[in-house]
Structure 1
Amino acid sequence: MRILQQTIIIFLLIVFISAIPVIMVVNPVEQKLYWDFSNLGHLYVDFIKELGNGGLGTYTLGDQERSISDDIGSYFITSLELLFFGVLIAVFVSLLFGIFLSRFKLTRLINILLNILSTIPDFILIIFSLVLAIMVYQITGFRIISFRQDAGVLNIWFPMLLVGISPTLYMFKLVTVKYYQLSGEDYIRTAVSKGLRVNYINFQHIYKNIEPFMIAELTKIVSLAIGNLFIIEYLLNVSGITKFIFQSYQFQPVTIGLFSMLLISLIVYISIRLILYIFKRGFIYE
């Protein structure tokens, strides 16, 4: 019953957010904004009818009117790839440098660098990365990014890295703090005094106690990645789900885009949880 209630609330909330451009009306005489909820019920009904008829509606792309069902498949896969690998990069880098390679001096330098970067807003980091990529192309002729939609790999791998910036900074700081906290615990000191190998301690003791904190913060990691995804797909002209939201301010495509983004975030969350579970079952002895 609780899941059903949450589903209904999420559905109503997403449709309401999509309807804001319609129900927020400008009065040209008084030059004021006011809310007009008279069309809200019709929007709900029309949206459900459209889905019931087996269609998703249309959206405007430039001067063209395209069918959402024709483009949503490729857009969905592109956004899913960017979000999944962005979050996966964050988890991999955080575990690698935050736990398993934390004893090396190079990792300390990386820790200082990431702490400095974490003080810079995400949007500034993304803009700086784009400017840096353009400078590299101007100096060396090596193309890192492309703003063409048919650029293939050039329009995928660099956005993946940018999507993972904010989640990596957040999770790396979390893992590093928990690592140093756990390193001072009595059972870790006992394991060290017994002469156990560092890798064994990291796998069997440190990681086992850090994993619950990572899982608890995974929803926030995914939300940070989604925030970057909106910015990156818009700036780099990536053909993802956000095209339904940014390229057309119509009610139907925006609603479909938000629901698709919700589904993508759920798939990514479950996938990362599954990867962490497989990693634990394969390397950690219970």
Structure 2
Amino acid sequence: MLRVLQQIVIIFLLILTLAALPAIIEVNSADNKLEWNFEQLPTIYGDFISEISKGSLGNYQLGEQVRAIEEDIGDNFFTSLKVMLIGVNSAIIISLIFGIFLSRFHLTKVFNLILNILSTIPDFIIIVISMILAVNIYRWTGIRVISLRPDAGALNTWFPTLLVAIAPTLYLFKLITVKYFQTSSEDYIKTAVAKGMSLNYINFQHVFKNIEPFITAELVKIISLAIGNLFIIEYIMNVSGITKFIFQSNEIQPIAIGLFSMLLISAIVYLSVRLVFYLFKRGFIYE
């Protein structure tokens, strides 16, 4: 319990420190160097806690308007949460289907070739190319694939969700493919094949059960990849997500609230994946 409390305090201070970087860093033009004003940190911590203790998340500036954060954060939070939940869970499901259960089909080899090509391209370039392709599709066919209007509803969220899922899929599919071939060469798998067990039974009852711990161990990294892309996607595609409070303000309060919200979204996504695995095992795996 003490260790968990220590971790919470460290994370709290770290996020506030990151949010306060614009305030504690100054450029000394006379000496041409950066100056760090760490003595401001205790005051920043105190002001943040004081604001929260009043039952308010504080204010942020949107253009010439000063708005209360709690009035706008709900819709933005759920937009980012929806994109992350669908994107990450879809990446895991697609990687499992093609990496394990459809691995013997020719379609999987084609899918693997496409992902290997995409994995050599930086995520930012993939996002930009995807947007250019979406614009060209509209020019060629008249079908609107994306919208840069923040009030466009599903048209402004499904494409960002697709882009968020790309990086986790690239990483996870390669991991599952490697672990699948390693597991397939184990003696207990050869014994199961020799006994005449079906391939689907072996994949469900043996292969998946041995690969799942590796996926669980990499969940934090998978979610981190998705969060990194979410920052880029919401900014360049004008999605009204939680990153608005981070990018559109240089004040400590909205940046800190945005970062804490990102942490909460990551935790919810992590728990959702663990829940999906639990339900999958309860329904298909014989313990």
Counterpart of 1:225 in structure 2 is 226
The residue correspondences of 1:121-200 to structure 2 (distance < 5 A) are 121-200=122-201
Q: What is the distance in 1 between the residues matched to 2:67 and 2:149? A: 19
Q: What is the distance in 2 between the residues matched to 1:115 and 1:184? A: 23
**SS state of the match for residue 286, structure 2?**
coil
Counterpart of 2:258 in structure 1 is 257
TM-superposed deviation, 1:96: 0.6
Counterpart of 1:32 in structure 2 is 33
TM (normalized to structure 1)? 0.98
Q: Could you report, residue by residue, the CA deviation over 1:182-230 in whole angstroms, capped at 9, with x for unpaired residues?
A: 1111111121122211111110111011001010101110111000110
TM-superposed deviation, 1:115: 1.2
TM-superposed deviation, 1:26: 1.6
Counterpart of 2:114 in structure 1 is 113
AA aligned opposite 1:178 = K
AA aligned opposite 1:54 = G
TM-superposed deviation, 1:29: 2.7
**SS state of the match for residue 202, structure 2?**
helix
Q: What is the distance in 2 between the residues matched to 1:75 and 1:132? A: 27
TM-superposed deviation, 1:40: 1.7
Q: What is the distance in 1 between the residues matched to 2:278 and 2:30? A: 61
AA aligned opposite 2:208 = Y
Counterpart of 1:4 in structure 2 is 5
TM-superposed deviation, 1:66: 1.3
Q: What is the distance in 1 between the residues matched to 2:90 and 2:119? A: 16
Counterpart of 1:46 in structure 2 is 47
Q: What is the distance in 1 between the residues matched to 2:29 and 2:209? A: 62
AA aligned opposite 2:179 = K
AA aligned opposite 2:40 = N
AA aligned opposite 2:65 = Q
Counterpart of 2:22 in structure 1 is 21
Q: Could you report, residue by residue, the CA deviation over 1:95-142 in whole angstroms, capped at 9, with x for unpaired residues?
A: 110011111011111111111111111111111111111111111111
Q: Could you report, residue by residue, the CA deviation over 1:149-177 in whole angstroms, capped at 9, with x for unpaired residues?
A: 11011011111010010000000001011
Q: Could you report, residue by residue, the CA deviation over 1:227-269 in whole angstroms, capped at 9, with x for unpaired residues?
A: 0110000011001110000011111000000011001101110
**SS state of the match for residue 150, structure 2?**
coil
Q: Could you report, residue by residue, the CA deviation over 1:55-88 in whole angstroms, capped at 9, with x for unpaired residues?
A: 1111111222111000111111011111111111
Q: What is the distance in 2 between the residues matched to 1:271 and 1:91? A: 11
TM (normalized to structure 2)? 0.98
**SS state of the match for residue 51, structure 1?**
helix
Runs of 4+ in 1 over 3 A off after TM superposition: none
Q: What is the distance in 1 between the residues matched to 2:86 and 2:130? A: 18
TM-superposed deviation, 1:31: 3.1
Q: What is the distance in 2 between the residues matched to 1:110 and 1:182? A: 21
Q: What is the distance in 1 between the residues matched to 2:90 and 2:169? A: 7
Q: What is the distance in 1 between the residues matched to 2:42 and 2:143? A: 54
AA aligned opposite 1:266 = A
Counterpart of 1:278 in structure 2 is 279
Counterpart of 1:71 in structure 2 is 72
Q: Which runs of 5+ in 2 are unaligned?
A: none
Q: What is the distance in 2 between the residues matched to 1:225 and 1:28? A: 38
Q: What is the distance in 2 between the residues matched to 1:104 and 1:39? A: 61
Q: What is the distance in 2 between the residues matched to 1:49 and 1:18? A: 16
1:266 matches 2:253: no
1:203 matches 2:208: no
Counterpart of 2:85 in structure 1 is 84
TM-superposed deviation, 1:38: 2.9
